[in-house]
Chains A and B, each alone.
Chain A
Amino acid sequence: AQSVTQLDSQVPVFEEAPVELRCNYSSSVSVYLFWYVQYPNQGLQLLLKYLSGSTLVKGINGFEAEFNKSQTSFHLRKPSVHISDTAEYFCAVSHTGTASKLTFGTGTRLQVTL
Chain B
Amino acid sequence: GAGVSQSPSNKVTEKGKDVELRCDPISGHTALYWYRQSLGQGLEFLIYFQGNSAPDKSGLPSDRFSAERTGGSVSTLTIQRTQQEDSAVYLCASSSAGTGAYEQYFGPGTRLTVT
A positions within 8 Å CB-CB of B: 32, 36, 41-46, 49, 51, 90, 92, 94, 98-107
- How far, in Å, is A101 (CB) from chain B's closest CB? 4
How far, in whole Å, are A44 and B108 apart by their CA atoms in the complex?
8
27 pairs, CB–CB < 8 Å, chain A vs chain B: A36-B106, A41-B108, A42-B108, A43-B4, A43-B106, A43-B108, A44-B93, A45-B106, A46-B104, A46-B105, A49-B103, A90-B43, A94-B102, A98-B50, A98-B101, A99-B95, A99-B101, A101-B33, A101-B56, A102-B33, A102-B35, A104-B35, A104-B42, A104-B43, A104-B44, A107-B42, A107-B43
Residues of A within 8 A of B102 (CB): 32, 49, 51, 94, 99
Contact yes or no, B45 A43, CB < 8 A: no
Note all chain A residues with C-beta closer than 8 A to B103: 46, 49
Identify the interface centre among A32, A49, A90, A102: most chain B CB within 10 Å of its CB.
A102
Find out whether the CB atom of B106 lies under 8 angstroms from the CB atom of A102: no
Chain B residues near A94 (CB, 8 Å)?
A: 102
How far is B56's CA from A41's CA once the two chains are assembled, in angstroms? 28
B101 proximity list for chain A (CB < 8 A)? 98-99
